[in-house]
Amino acid sequence: MRAWFGDIYRTLFKIELAVMFQYRAAVVIWLIGLVLQPVIYLVVWLTVAETEGGRVGDFDAGSLSAYFLIMMVVNHATFSWHMWEMGYRVRSGSFNSLLVQPLHPFHRDIIQNMAYKVLSLAIVVPVTALLWWFFEPTLTPDPWMWLALGPAIALAFLVRFFFEWSLALLAFWITDTSGLNNLYMALFFFLAGRMAPISLLPTWGQTIANALPFKLMLAFPVELVMGRLTPQQVMDGFLMQILWIGLGWLTVHLVWSRASARYSAVGA
């Protein structure tokens, strides 16, 4: 069974990678948006820090630069776009071809996500290096933090993927899910630490961020490699990531059975 999945994943990965190569211009446009946003936030917070005497909260200019540049890379590694596509798939009937395949559709979406990120690394890595040289961030993590960063990012991706795929399934009941998607993204920007570090939020905002999974999708790996978490906090973060992955996976499978049962292609 594992070998069967491995063969399918390898084959689909090659196909999706070839498709991505055909849309190189679109890939570059998407990447520009992913890079510009954190750079804009960084410049804004550096300006705020300068007006406040060089610091804002527990961040100085160097740590702010490190936070937003690392966040840019982690966000690139963990983001997914499939909740924006699900409504179109349902409305257009393009889900038909996915339903007849002997593989759950989320597997193909995971592979497509991986193919895009492998291809886009050729741009993300040099751009990050250039920005790192320009903004001169300060970062001195312990060796164990670098070792923990990879698993933290991988788990963050799975938390985000299953959470957003569960949200995407609402397209089977709601004609237009763009409003819900925008609401989700607004919460994500604040509670995941994308617009500002979690520690700069008011106390009540930090409490909400620590209770919901958004922080585990983005801020947790960033804070880990910046040395802002104790080993115990890192272990607690890993356990919470695994818990939310389990809940997300269970939600996808429970909702999917009902969603696919009520699905009706356009014109049927």
Q: How many C-beta atoms lie closer than 10 Å to residue 24's C-beta?
A: 10
Q: How many C-beta atoms lie closer than 10 Å to residue 116's C-beta?
A: 23
Rounded CA separation 167/65 (Å): 32
Q: Which positions ≥6 away from 194 have C-beta within 8 Å?
A: 37, 38, 41, 71, 75, 188, 218
Instruction: Provide DSSP, the chain.
Output: -HHHHHHHHHHHHHHHHHHHHHTHHHHHHHHHHHHHHHHHHHHHHHHHHHHTTSEETTEEHHHHHHHHHHHHHHHHHH---HHHHHHHHHHHTTTHHHHTSSS-HHHHHHHHHHHHHHHHHHHHHHHHHHHHHHH-------HHHHHHHHHHHHHHHHHHHHHHHHHHGGGGT-S--HHHHHHHHHHHHHHTTSSS-GGGS-HHHHHHHHHSTHHHHTHHHHHHHTT-S-HHHHHHHHHHHHHHHHHHHHHHHHHHHHHHHH---TT-
| Per-residue pLDDT reduced to its tens digit, 206-216 | 999 999 999 99
Report if residue 171 sits inside a domain: yes
Residue predicted with more confidence, 95 or 201: 201
| Per-residue pLDDT reduced to its tens digit, 64-75 | 999 999 999 999
Domain that holds residue 152: 2-262
Report if residue 195 sits inside a domain: yes
What pTM was estimated for this model as a whole? 0.88
* Domains identified in the chain, total number: 1
Q: Considering the chain, what is the average pLDDT of its residues?
A: 85
Answer yes or no: are the C-beta atoms of 112 and 23 closer than 8 Å. no
Handedness of CA 103, 109, 113, 118 (dihedral sign): positive
Rounded CA separation 116/102 (Å): 23
Query: What pLDDT was estimated at residue 267?
Result: 46
In the chain, pLDDT over 90 holds for what percent of residues?
46
Query: What pLDDT was estimated at residue 25?
Result: 64
Report if residue 12 sits inside a domain: yes
Report if residue 229 sits inside a domain: yes
What is the pLDDT averaged over residues 179-204?
91
| Per-residue pLDDT reduced to its tens digit, 132-171 | 999 999 988 899 999 999 999 999 999 999 999 888 888 8
Question: Tokens representing 112?
Answer: 């497509």
Report if residue 267 sits inside a domain: no
Report if residue 268 sits inside a domain: no
Question: Tokens representing 96?
Answer: 């038909």
Rounded CA separation 87/171 (Å): 5
Query: What pLDDT was estimated at residue 175?
Result: 73
Report if residue 34 sits inside a domain: yes
